[in-house]
């Protein structure tokens, strides 16, 4: 076929898409609520509160230091900064005028009450899996909270992304709207876990890599590791770099307590996911979530986690060379007192063994560098303890020496490259 013909077909395609945009993409506004707000049962509101926690609504919809769920938090995306919105029942600036059908349409189809399309920085592609019963409870909870009037900055993305109607095409390509459907080949606990993880939990929003249009990749890429607020969200499938494979018990511990003795702690963006969300879920639901997530892990060796941990600790800590080299010196001076092999008494909170930690074994050094520079000041749960940051006592070369030493001594994996430059970049990014 000649190029001219291709051009002709392209014009045809654009025309068809234009017709599509006008005919199908246009969504009507849903009439605002009139009269007094509805009353909901205390039971439903309480259930809604726990579901809202699982969905991390407040994590995204609360500005730093601002009123809960009143929006205004900037979310940087490759397409520009998107501001979260006010989810309190204020009629003018929040969702006070939204009927349940309007709320449901937003959660399932990413379309706001006035008919405009929402950006998928709002994880409706996952929330769409949520049952009607659960969506109603979330609505009941949100509508029962105090109304807060806000003056949040509006979202202005550069052209063409400011054309929200384009999201109709994006949805056509990437949104599979609809409630989670049970997989008949799996048991009910697995299906319950999948419902929570793939729906309100939106785990894949962070733990799955995205394509050029910002949509999650699918198939074997599901849970193959992604990005969140400048951190790496590690792979949770067979590509996981955790030195001991995650299983039902360790995942359960991590979700409930923010800590697994055979892995480590939830620190960065995972901190609030656990602290505000997972740790308050019911026993049955957390077990189901752990069961489902464990089904993605590689099968571990037959010896127990404890045996593997002992072996890895012995190999790394037992083989510590006499203090030679800058990295080893910094480690013994700055880290060793707290991060010994875990056998000695624990004085303040937990002491993750670096031999078992994904951040030392990961392909990218970023999470380890961030923890060294900034420490851990907001533990997922208070009883985990705090770690000081070293941005003021170590320069970039020292941070690099330390990280390469940890990599060699504790992970025995290929060295990371350009560590000093990376440390400088991250130091600047997270400067407060
Ligand atoms: C990862 C961050 C994130 C999470 C988690 C999140 N949201 Fe949002 N949400 C957003 C952003 C950003 C917008 C604005 C999108 C836009 O402007 O197109 C938004 C918009 C909305 C809207 C449309 C409101 C309006 O005025 O147009 C609703 C409704 C909503 N979210 C409900 C929820 C609920 C309920 C939860 C928890 C179950 C939740 N969101 C969790 C980021 C998030
Ligand atoms: C005063 C004690 C203390 C010192 C000193 C200390 N840490 Fe920590 N570290 C902790 C605690 C406590 C945690 C867990 C905190 C939490 O999650 O609440 C932690 C967590 C970590 C983690 C995260 C583990 C994970 O599971 O993600 C890494 C990595 C780490 N430390 C590395 C270091 C390095 C490298 C040094 C030396 C530069 C160091 N720490 C110095 C107490 C300390
Ligand atoms: C906002 C982004 C985000 C969401 C949503 C999220 N995670 Fe994470 N997760 C991370 C990041 C980043 C890390 C690694 C660093 C840290 O601790 O923050 C992580 C770490 C983890 C780890 C530890 C992995 C390892 O090898 O150390 C597990 C397990 C995990 N997440 C499971 C989940 C599950 C299950 C869900 C859904 C219920 C979920 N995550 C939702 C960002 C997220």
Q: Contact 134/140 with Cβ under 8 angstroms?
A: no
d(CA 77, CA 80): 5
Q: How many CB atoms lie within 10 A of CB 365?
A: 26
What is the model's pLDDT at position 23? 63
Distance from the alpha carbon of residue 268 to the mean position of ligand 1, in angstroms: 21
Q: Contact 87/71 with Cβ under 8 angstroms?
A: yes
Closest ligand 1 atom, CA of 59? 5
In sequence order, the 6+-apart residues with CB closer than 8 A to the CB of 65 are none
Residue 84: nearest ligand to its CA? Answer: 1
Residue 370: nearest ligand to its CA? Answer: 2
CB of 150 within 6 A of ligand 3: the answer is no
Question: In the numeric block, which tokens belong to residue 314?
Answer: 């012995």
Question: In the numeric block, which tokens belong to residue 219?
Answer: 């198939």
Residue 269: nearest ligand to its CA? Answer: 3
71 bridge partner residues? 62
Closest by alpha carbon to 241, among 275, 212, 207, 217? Answer: 207
pTM given for the model: 0.93
**Alpha carbon of 228 to those of 190, 203, 233, 358, 422: distances in Å?**
26, 11, 6, 16, 17
Average pLDDT, 10 consecutive residues per value, the chain (432 residues): 43 55 78 83 97 98 97 93 97 96 98 96 98 98 97 94 92 96 98 98 98 94 95 97 96 96 94 96 98 93 90 82 81 88 53 91 97 92 89 97 95 96 96 73
Report residue 135: phi and psi, to 5°.
-65, -40
d(CA 172, CA 14): 15
Domains assigned to the chain: 19-174 (1.10.760), 188-294 (1.10.760), 305-429 (1.10.760.10)
Closest ligand 3 atom, CA of 278? 38
What is the model's pLDDT at position 5? 44
d(CA 116, CA 191): 33
Pocket (CB within 6 angstroms of ligand 2): 264-265, 267, 334-335, 337-339, 349-350, 352, 357, 359, 368, 371-372, 376, 379, 384-385, 387-388, 390
In sequence order, the 6+-apart residues with CB closer than 8 A to the CB of 250 are 244, 260, 262, 263, 305
Element (DSSP H or E) covering residue 53: helix 42-54
Distance from the alpha carbon of residue 122 to the mean position of ligand 1, in angstroms: 5
Nearest CA to ligand 3 atom 41: 203
């Amino acid at each position: 076929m000649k190029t001219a013909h291709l051009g002709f077909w392209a014009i045809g395609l654009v025309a068809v898409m234009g017709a599509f945009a006008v005919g199908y993409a246009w969504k009507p506004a849903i009439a605002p609520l009139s009269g007094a707000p509805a009353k909901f049962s205390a039971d439903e509101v309480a259930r809604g509160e726990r579901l809202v926690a699982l969905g991390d609504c407040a994590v995204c919809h609360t500005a730093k230091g601002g009123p809960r769920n009143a929006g205004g938090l900037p979310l940087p995306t490759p397409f520009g900064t998107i501001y979260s919105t006010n989810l309190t029942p204020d009629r003018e600036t929040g969702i006070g005028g939204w009927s349940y059908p309007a709320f449901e349409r937003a959660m399932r189809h990413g379309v706001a009450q006035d008919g405009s399309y929402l950006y998928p920085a709002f994880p409706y592609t996952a929330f769409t899996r949520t049952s009607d019963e659960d969506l109603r409870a979330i609505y009941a909870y949100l509508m029962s909270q105090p109304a807060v009037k806000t003056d949040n900055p509006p979202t202005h993305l550069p052209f063409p992304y400011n054309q929200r109607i384009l999201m109709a095409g994006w949805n056509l390509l990437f949104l599979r709207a609809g409630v989670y459907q049970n997989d008949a080949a799996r048991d009910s606990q697995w299906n319950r876990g999948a419902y929570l993880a793939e729906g309100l939990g939106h785990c894949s929003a962070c733990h799955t890599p995205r394509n050029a249009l910002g949509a999650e990749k699918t198939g074997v890429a599901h849970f193959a590791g992604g990005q969140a607020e400048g951190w790496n969200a590690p792979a949770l499938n067979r590509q996981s770099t955790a030195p001991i494979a995650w299983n039902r018990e360790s995942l359960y511990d991590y979700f409930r307590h923010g800590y697994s003795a055979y892995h480590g702690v939830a620190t960065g963006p995972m901190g609030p996911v656990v602290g505000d969300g997972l740790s308050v879920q019911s026993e049955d639901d957390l077990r189901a979530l752990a069961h489902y997530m464990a089904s993605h892990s590689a099968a571990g060796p037959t010896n127990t986690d404890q045996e593997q941990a002992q072996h890895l600790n012995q190999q790394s800590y037992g083989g510590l060379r006499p203090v030679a080299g800058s990295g080893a010196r910094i480690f013994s001076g700055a880290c060793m007192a707290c991060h010994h092999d875990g056998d000695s008494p624990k004085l303040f909170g937990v002491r993750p063994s670096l031999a078992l930690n994904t951040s030392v074994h990961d392909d990218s050094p970023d999470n380890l560098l961030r923890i060294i520079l900034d420490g851990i000041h907001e533990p997922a749960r208070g009883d985990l303890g705090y770690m000081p940051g070293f941005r003021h006592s170590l320069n970039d070369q020292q941070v690099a020496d330390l990280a390469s030493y940890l990599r060699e001594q504790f992970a025995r994996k290929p060295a990371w490259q350009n560590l000093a430059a990376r440390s400088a970049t991250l130091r600047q990014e997270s400067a407060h």
